[in-house]
C-alpha cells in the first residue's frame, strides 16, 4: 500500500494485478458490453421499428426520419444522464452509480421488447419508445465514464492504462455482439417473421442479460480511492461540476478534443463504413457485415493492447503513434478498395485494430482530473463532446462526400491529427489517485 496526499492508503503502484482485480475488470467489462449492446441494438432494427411504431400512411422518408430521431434522442440524453449520475458518483460513491447505470439500461431495453406497436396502442407506441430511448441514453452517459473511473481506482497505478483499455474493449465488444445478434436474427427468420415478433428477441435478451449483470455487480466493492476520500471527509464541498468548470478547464478541453477523435473513429470507421462499402464500392451487404464484424473484433483486441502500452510508455506517445497509424490505414483502405475490393477483409481488419488506439484515451482523462471530481470531469467532457461531435459527424461526412469520395478517410485523418497534437498538451492532475 502507498500513502495518498490525504494521509491514507491506496493499492501500491508496483504490485501485480490480483485475482480480485481481474474479477473487477471482468464484471465491469461484461456489464459495459451488455449495456453498449442494449444501446446499439436499436440501430440494427431501425427499419422494422419504423414500420411498426409509426402510421403506415406517412411517407417512408418521414418514418425513417422519426425513427432515427428517436435513436438520436439517446445521444442527446447522454450528457444530462452522465452529469447527474457523475454528480452523485462523486458524492455518494462510484459503485452505486455504476450499478444504477446498468439497471437504468436493462429495464427500458426489456420494456422495448415488450412494447405494443402503433397498430395496438396508437400514438402512445412512439411516445413510449422515445421515453425508453431517453432512459437508455441517460444510462450509457453514466456507464462509460463511471466504468473508467471505477476500474482505474481499483487497480495499481501502473495498471490503469491496461484497466481502461480492457474496459473500453468490453464496450466495443457490445457493438460486435449487437452486430452478430442482428445478423443471426435476419439469417434465421424470414422478413415477415422479423416484423411480426423476431425483432423483439434482441431487446428481450439484452434486458434479461442486463438484469443479470445488475445482480453480478452486487459483488463489486467501492473503490479504495473513493473510500479513502470518504474516510478523510475530503469529498467535494460544492457541486463537483462547478469545481470542474472553474478549476480544470484545460483537462476539459483536452478530454473533449480526444473524445472528438474517439467519435470519428467509432462513428465513421466502425458504424458508417459498412454502408459506405456498399454504396461507394458496390460490396455485397453480407460481405460488408462480415468485414465489419472482423474489424470490430480486431478493435476489441487493439483497445486492450493500446491501454497496456499506454501504461508502459505513456498515453501521449501511444495516442500520437496510434492516431497516425489509424489515419494512414483508413486512407489506404479507401485507396485500395478503389482498385481491388478483394483486399477488404485484411485491410479493414487492420484498420479496426488501429482504431483500438482509443483504448488509451480514457487513461488520459482519468489522470487529468483529481479523484474528488474525477467522475464529474470525465462525464461532462466525454458526454457533451460525444453528443455534439458524434451527432454531427454523419452529417458533416455526408456533406463532404458530395465533393470528395475520400471524405470519410480525410475526416478521420484530420481528427487523428487533432488527437496527436492534443497529446502535446496533456497534463496530469496534481493528485491523480
- Helix extents (H) in 232-314: 240-247, 249-263, 273-281, 285-313
- 211 touches 110 (CB < 8 A): yes
| Local confidence band at 350 (pLDDT 50, 70, 90 cut-offs) | very high
Asked if residue 285 has pLDDT above 60, the reply is yes
- Please give the average per-residue pLDDT across 130-138, as a whole number: 90
| Confidence (pLDDT) at 50 | 86
List % helix, strand, coil for the chain (3-state, nearest 5).
Answer: 85, 0, 15
The whole-number average pLDDT for the span 106-132 is 93
Residue 234: predicted pLDDT? 60
Q: What is the DSSP letter of 9?
A: E
Using the predicted structure, report yes or no on whether residue 355 has a pLDDT greater than 90. yes
Distances (CA, A) of 67 to 71, 189, 241, 261: 6, 23, 33, 27
Model pLDDT, residue 250: 96
State yes or no: pLDDT of 7 exceeds 50: no
This prediction's pTM: 0.85
Q: How far apart are CA 102 and CA 222, in angstroms?
A: 16
Which residues touch 20 (CB under 8 Å, ≥6 apart)?
none
Range name among 76-80, 250-254, 317-321, 334-338 with the lowest pLDDT average: 76-80
If you write DSSP's letter for every residue of 397-415 in order, what string do you get? HHHHHTT-TTHHHHHHHHH
Burial 343-373 (b: 16+ CB within 10 A, else e): ebeebbbbbbbbbbbbbbbbbbbbbbbbbbb
Q: Is the pLDDT of residue 6 over 60?
A: no
The H-or-E segment that residue 193 falls in is helix 191-193
pLDDT over 90 at 298, yes or no: yes
5, pLDDT greater than 70: no
Q: Round the average pLDDT of the chain to a whole number and report it.
A: 87
Which carries the bigger pLDDT value, residue 228 or residue 431? Answer: 228
CB 152 within 8 A of CB 360: no
pLDDT of 4 reads 42
Q: What are phi and psi of 357, to 5 degrees?
A: -55, -25
CA 102 – CA 324 distance, rounded (Å)? 35
DSSP designation for 158: G
Domain borders along the chain are: 16-425
| pLDDT for res 235 | 67
In the predicted structure, residue 357 carries a pLDDT above the cut 70: yes
The predicted pLDDT at position 91 comes to 80
Within 10 angstroms of residue 186's Cβ, the number of other Cβ atoms is: 19
Please tell me the predicted confidence (pLDDT) of residue 3.
Answer: 43
Q: Which residues pair with 3 in a beta bridge?
A: 9
Instruction: Quote the cell numbers at residue 160.
Output: 490503469
Give 13's pLDDT tier (boundaries 50, 70, 90).
low
Q: What is the pLDDT of residues 34-88, one digit of tens each?
A: 888 888 888 788 888 888 998 888 887 787 777 778 877 887 888 888 888 888 8
CA distance 430 to 428: 6
137 with 76: CB under 8 angstroms? yes
pLDDT at 29: 86
Task: Report yes or no: 139 and 35 within 8 Å, Cβ to Cβ.
Answer: yes
Residue-level pLDDT at 2 = 46
Residue 348 pLDDT exceeds 70: yes
Q: Are 182 and 44 in contact (CB under 8 A)?
A: yes
More confident call, 86 vs 323 = 323
Fold classified for 16-425: Growth Hormone; Chain: A; (1.20.1250)
334 within 8 A of 276, measured Cβ to Cβ = no
Distance CA 197, CA 277 (A): 30
Q: In degrees rounded to 5, what are phi and psi of residue 182?
A: -60, -40
Mean pLDDT on 158-162: 92
Structure-model confidence comparison of residues 431 and 156, the more confident one: 156
Read off the pLDDT of each residue in 164-176 and give the average, rounded to a whole number: 92
Q: Are 146 and 364 in contact (CB under 8 A)?
A: no
116-120 — which CB contacts under 8 Å span 24+ positions? 117/52, 117/53, 118/52, 118/53, 118/54, 118/55, 119/52
Distance CA 334, CA 280 (A): 10
Where are the alpha helices (H) located in 314-373, listed in sequence order? Answer: 315-339, 344-355, 361-368
Amino acid at each position: 500500500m502507498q500513502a495518498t496526499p490525504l494521509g491514507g492508503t491506496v493499492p501500491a503502484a508496483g504490485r501485480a494485478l490480483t485475482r480480485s482485480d481481474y474479477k473487477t475488470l471482468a464484471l465491469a467489462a461484461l456489464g459495459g458490453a451488455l449495456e453498449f449492446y442494449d444501446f446499439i441494438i436499436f440501430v440494427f432494427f431501425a427499419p422494422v421499428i419504423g414500420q411498426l411504431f409509426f402510421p403506415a400512411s406517412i411517407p417512408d422518408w418521414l418514418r425513417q426520419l422519426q425513427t432515427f430521431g428517436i435513436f438520436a434522442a439517446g445521444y442527446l440524453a447522454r450528457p444530462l444522464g452522465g452529469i447527474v449520475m457523475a454528480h452523485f458518483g462523486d458524492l455518494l460513491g462510484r459503485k452505486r452509480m455504476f450499478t444504477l447505470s446498468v439497471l437504468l439500461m436493462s429495464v427500458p431495453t426489456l420494456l422495448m421488447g415488450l412494447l405494443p406497436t402503433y397498430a395496438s396502442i396508437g400514438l402512445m407506441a412512439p411516445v413510449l419508445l422515445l421515453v425508453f430511448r431517453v432512459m437508455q441514453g441517460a444510462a450509457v452517459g453514466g456507464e462509460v465514464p463511471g466504468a473508467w473511473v471505477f476500474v482505474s481506482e481499483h487497480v495499481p497505478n501502473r495498471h490503469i492504462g491496461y484497466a481502461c483499455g480492457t474496459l473500453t474493449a468490453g464496450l466495443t465488444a457490445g457493438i460486435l455482439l449487437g452486430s452478430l445478434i442482428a445478423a443471426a436474427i435476419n439469417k434465421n427468420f424470414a422478413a415477415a417473421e422479423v416484423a411480426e415478433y423476431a425483432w423483439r428477441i434482441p431487446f428481450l435478451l439484452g434486458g434479461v442479460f442486463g438484469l443479470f449483470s445488475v445482480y453480478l455487480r452486487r459483488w463489486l466493492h467501492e473503490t479504495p480511492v473513493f473510500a479513502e476520500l470518504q474516510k478523510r471527509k475530503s469529498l467535494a464541498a460544492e457541486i463537483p461540476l462547478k469545481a470542474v468548470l472553474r478549476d480544470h478547464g484545460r483537462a476539459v478541453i483536452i478530454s473533449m478534443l480526444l473524445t472528438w477523435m474517439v467519435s470519428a473513429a467509432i462513428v465513421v470507421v466502425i458504424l458508417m463504413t459498412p454502408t459506405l462499402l456498399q454504396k461507394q464500392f458496390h460490396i455485397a451487404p453480407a460481405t460488408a457485415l462480415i468485414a465489419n464484424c472482423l474489424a470490430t473484433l480486431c478493435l476489441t483486441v487493439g483497445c486492450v493492447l493500446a491501454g497496456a502500452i499506454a501504461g508502459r510508455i505513456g498515453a501521449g506517445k501511444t495516442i500520437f503513434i496510434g492516431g497516425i497509424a489509424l489515419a494512414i490505414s483508413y486512407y489506404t483502405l479507401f485507396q485500395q478498395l478503389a482498385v481491388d475490393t478483394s483486399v477488404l477483409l485484411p485491410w479493414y481488419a487492420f484498420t479496426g485494430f488501429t482504431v483500438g488506439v482509443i483504448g488509451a484515451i480514457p487513461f488520459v482523462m482519468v489522470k487529468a482530473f483529481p479523484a474528488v471530481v474525477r467522475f464529474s470531469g470525465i462525464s461532462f467532457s466525454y458526454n457533451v463532446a460525444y453528443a455534439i461531435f458524434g451527432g454531427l459527424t454523419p452529417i458533416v461526412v455526408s456533406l463532404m462526400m458530395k465533393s470528395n469520395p475520400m471524405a470519410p478517410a480525410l475526416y478521420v485523418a484530420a481528427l487523428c491529427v487533432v488527437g496527436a497534437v492534443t497529446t502535446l498538451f496533456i497534463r496530469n492532475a496534481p493528485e491523480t489517485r
